[in-house]
Amino acid sequence: MAKAEQQSVEDFKGQARLPRFANPKRYVISLRVDLARCAFSGSSTIAVAVVSSTRFLVLNAADLAVDPASVRFTTPGSSEELQPSEVVAVEEDEILVVGFDTTLPIGDGELRIEFIGTLNDQMRGFYRSKYEYNGEIRNMAVTQFEAVDARRCFPCWDEPAFKATFKITLEVPSELVALSNMPVAEEKVDGVVKTLSFEESPIMSTYLVAIVVGLFDYIEDKLPDGTKVRVYCQVGKSSQGKFALDVAVKSLQLYENYFAVPYPLPKLDMVAIPDFAAGAMENYGLVTYRETALLYDDRLSSASNKQSVAITVAHELAHQWFGNLVTMEWWTHLWLNEGFASWVSYLAVDSLFPEWKIWTQFLEETAAGLMLDALSESHPIEVEINHANEIDAIFDSISYDKGASVIRMLQSYLGAESFQTEDLWAVLEEKSREPVKDLMNSWTKQQGYPVIYANLKKHELELEQAQFLSDGSSGTGMWIIPVTLCCGSYNPQEKFLLKSKYHKLDIKELVSSHDPNNENGERFWIKLNVDQTGFYRVKYDDELAAGIRYAVQANKLSLMDKIGVVEDSYALSVACKQTLSSLLFLLSAYAEEFDYTVLSHISCKIADVVMDATPELANDIKLFLINLLLSAAKKLGWDPKDGENHLDVMLRSDLLVALVRLGHEETINEAVKRFNIFLNDRNTPLLPPDNRKAAYLGVMQTVSTSNKSGFESLLRIYTETDQSQERVRVLGSLASCPDKEIVLEALNFLLTRKVRNQDAIYGLGISRQGRETAWVWLK
């Protein structure tokens, strides 16, 4: 960077980060919100510390009209205001460069800026969301600032390391509710307008600042210390916030104990937003959610909806400590922020609902991370971000799911007692006496993951690692792999670090108590990656694979290992590392399986197998898979039973959906029959919320261009309900029709004003026959 007297605006263009010669300490922000005009205006007085010689202050601003004449800089003890010689908005870099004729004094100062902006419809920055009240469509104002959109509401140093305090004042219509991160300190009403001044926040990053203005109901509970916890939602829906409120209060207390730090703020509000791009956002003290992620209606929501709400609430509240109180310096470490919150959220939900077997279900997260990370186009967990426009790309399954899975792998290997960035790795290494830093660097600084090839030669197990890629090609990655294995039973287990490409392990002691030729007919088996705690796959030789299949059929494996075996086998088949017949032979060992956590994974893999099968094989494969699932489906039936557990309710739903998708005629006929009863009586017990997706899919299997009644009935259900989760169920069914013309009509419906922007993606749940139609439509 040039010396202060030689600096120019050009020096700041095209830079990845803001210059470090001034740091914000405090923002005093006033905003006037005009919902009728979808506009806002405001001023920001920013206390800054100038730490090095400069004539410029460079901060972020985007989509704002800054009044150059309003910009002033003052220093304490001086009555003189410095007026800038130039105020330049560099649109492509989203920065505002404020230049002065003289070098700014080192030390404290204040920068004042006035600006105006528009409440956009892009669900980012300061935007508008629409809702209906008394038959009238209204606007609410909402913020979504992560990762780099606070700059669209007020000029600021919009990077996570630039923490400051925030004192916010809002001028809004007097009949509306206005919320921000902190409680209201003062409220003044002047006719149709009211002004609310909020308490000053603790230091926080700009991406965590939040504002919501609209018409809301709320329900409230309190923590033992009196801290208020509220759920805000559209008028008339407050009862749907009770479950999330209960989860929030219990999760906050659990986290206070786990982190050994009290909840940091004087209140917590959670708000359901009709138009919301993310699932939820952890704004400090004002957490925002899609309606589907926060509200639960015990008449209209399914068991899977309930579980999703619990996990999402627990995830966002974990951020109040890990991410908000302690924040990453730059977006390179996003994975630690999101991965840890995901991992801890499962810890909380497992404590609150142990009957859900949530850690077994966590393997869905691991599977999602493994699937994406097997692509050659994947990226490391830690990604160097060189420009703000690159940040959104890393909010993906690598940061969230792989991040959480790698943390789980480390916690499992070190043990819970040792587990309570590089500084983190150093502390863990000191406590556990394991090479944690090197191990974690091998997982966070390179993309992909390994497959371990396991071959048994008498009492010696030969292991080889290689990078796994779903296209079957070979990668060059090498990892330090925490390997776990058991032989014939789960006790004892072997645990070691595989640091090289090849390793031979003498397992004589492990197998000594397991005679391969024992009189009981039990077969010897070895399972690597015990309970699927490692983020890698395993390819067994034929002898070991036969042993694994026996262990599945004889119910010798844990639920997690039953899932892991299927996940690995499917991935190996996709990568042409084994035959499809090998996968199907393995699946046949699950014919007597009745556990939701296992069968839900199998039904997902089944759907993938059928979608990818050639037309000549598809029918034979469908018949095989129907027979695999039918026993469990018949046992559960269509009708819920008194006292039925949460997982059985979810399993029934998954099995019915899978059988409909596979074209099982009996299930489709029953689906249509129950759907027709439901059309005449929306409260019929014959079609509870958990079974509606299967019924809707079944109806769409019977729809054609010459018989559109089922399709039209579903559209009517969609338009008549205001329940977001029901709308998502309908959208996810509309395009699953074998008739291409109906598929096209369903896809075009997604572009109408009746479908919110964030919901359109649900409508891409197409049939196998409709894939080509959808692909042409998307292009």
**Active site residues per annotation:** 316
Helix (H) or strand (E) holding 220: strand 217-222
Task: Count CB neighbours of 39 within 10 A.
Answer: 15
DSSP 388: G
171 assigned binding-site residue: no
Residue 502, classified by CB atoms within 10 Å of its CB into exposed (0-12), middle (13-18) or buried (19+), is exposed
Q: 595 is written with which tokens?
A: 């556990």
Task: Count CB neighbours of 38 within 10 A.
Answer: 15
459 assigned binding-site residue: no
Amino acid 349 reads: V
Q: Cβ(166)–Cβ(199) under 8 Å?
A: no
Nearest to 679 by CA among 666, 692, 667: 692
DSSP assignment of 390-437 equals: GGGGGSSHIIIIIHHHHHHHHHHHH-GGG---HHHHHHHHHHH-S-HH
- d(CA 459, CA 738) in angstroms, rounded, equals 54
Q: At what angle do helices 615-636 and 580-587 cross, to 10 degrees?
A: 10
Please enumerate, as own/partner, the contacts of 464-470 that have beta carbons within 8 Å and a separation of 24 or more: 464/501, 464/502, 464/503, 465/498, 465/501, 465/536, 466/501, 468/374, 468/536, 468/537, 468/571, 468/575, 469/374, 469/375, 469/376, 469/575, 470/371, 470/374, 470/375, 470/571, 470/574, 470/575
Nearest to 205 by CA among 337, 77, 110: 337
The residues, any chain, with a CB within 8 Å of residue 475's CB and separated by 6 or more, are: 376, 448, 466, 467, 468, 469
DSSP 92: G
Nearest to 249 by CA among 229, 267, 234, 269: 229
- Alpha-carbon dihedral angle through residues 52, 56, 62, 66, given to the nearest 10 degrees: 130
First to last CA, the chain: 45
- d(CA 153, CA 117) in angstroms, rounded, equals 7
Task: Count CB neighbours of 204 within 10 A.
Answer: 22
SS3 365: helix
- d(CA 285, CA 141) in angstroms, rounded, equals 17
- d(CA 601, CA 364) in angstroms, rounded, equals 8
Q: How far is CA 712 from CA 521, 573, 715, 729, 737, in A?
A: 58, 40, 5, 15, 13
Q: Cβ(241)–Cβ(298) under 8 Å?
A: no
Is it true that the peptide bond before 147 is cis, omega within 30 degrees of 0? yes
SS3 507: coil
Positions of E strands within 458-569: 460-467, 481-487, 493-498, 502-506, 526-528, 537-540
Q: How many CA atoms lie within 13 A of 744 on its CB side?
A: 9
Nearest to 63 by CA among 168, 149, 166: 149
Q: At what angle do helices 436-444 and 422-432 cross, to 10 degrees?
A: 140
319 assigned binding-site residue: yes
Q: What are phi and psi of 219, to 5 degrees?
A: -125, 155
- d(CA 418, CA 414) in angstroms, rounded, equals 6
Q: Cβ(273)–Cβ(212) under 8 Å?
A: yes
- d(CA 692, CA 729) in angstroms, rounded, equals 8
Binding-site residue set for Zn(2+): 315, 319, 338
Binding-site residue set: 315, 319, 338
